[in-house]
Amino acid sequence: MNLSKACCQIAAVILLAVTGVPAEQSPPDGIKFEVVSVKVLPEKEALERSPDYLGPNVAVRLRLETGSQGLSFYGWKNSAVPGDYRIERTNHGTIWFHGKAGKGIAENTQSPGLESVLFGSEGTWSDLPPHSAIEWEELDFTSLAGQVHAFTVFIKLGNARQALEISSDTFTVPQQAVSP
């Protein structure tokens, strides 16, 4: 094991011991969690996708892919989509956006954890077999243009009891498109 990897593992253990909350991390070897596309939605489409409140007008397509090892992800019952958090990467660290949109989203410097990812509702673990993938879309806001965002999901590998919170690659939130 190289020194850099050993230092990262030690730091993660210390963070877990100090905070009691596992830090989000890059996906383990053989697992990909990536941003496939980022698209500013036309006003009409943004309203159709989010009729309950105004604001989310960026569609972010995500992909979670397994290699030779499958995984389980945590999400809503009877859904093939993981529960997730939107996060912002800053020079000072990571900020988790948590709460229901339109109801006052809190900004946390630590992950709210697995218990809160579905807003207090109980979810289920769904299997994603080896050599497979799922894709889904989440919404973001051009009002946050220029910020560097990513998403996190909770997974378990094999028979592991401990859930891992992994992070997608990042993207820069685009500006609102100018109408001609």
- Report pLDDT for 100: 56
- Report pLDDT for 108: 80
Residue 94 in domain: yes
Report mean pLDDT in 10-residue bins for the chain, 180 residues.
Answer: 43 37 73 97 89 84 95 94 94 83 66 89 94 96 95 92 95 81
Residue 36 in domain: yes
How many domains are contained in the chain?
1
Domain that holds residue 164: 24-172
pTM of the predicted model as reported, rounded to 2 decimal places: 0.81
- Report pLDDT for 178: 60
Q: Tell me the CATH number at 93.
A: 2.60.40.1470
Angle at 147 between CA 169 and CA 54, to 5 degrees: 105
- Report pLDDT for 121: 87
Residue 11 in domain: no
12-39 burial, b at 16+ Cβ within 10 Å, e below that, comes to eeeeeeeeeebbbeebeeebebbbeeee
Are 170 and 150 in contact by the 8 Å Cβ rule? The answer is yes
d(CA 137, CA 133): 14
Are 83 and 118 in contact by the 8 Å Cβ rule? The answer is yes
- Report pLDDT for 131: 96
Are 148 and 171 in contact by the 8 Å Cβ rule? The answer is yes
Are 68 and 19 in contact by the 8 Å Cβ rule? The answer is no
Residue 57 in domain: yes
Residue 107 in domain: yes
- Report pLDDT for 39: 96
Are 162 and 156 in contact by the 8 Å Cβ rule? The answer is yes
- Report pLDDT for 7: 40
- Report pLDDT for 63: 98
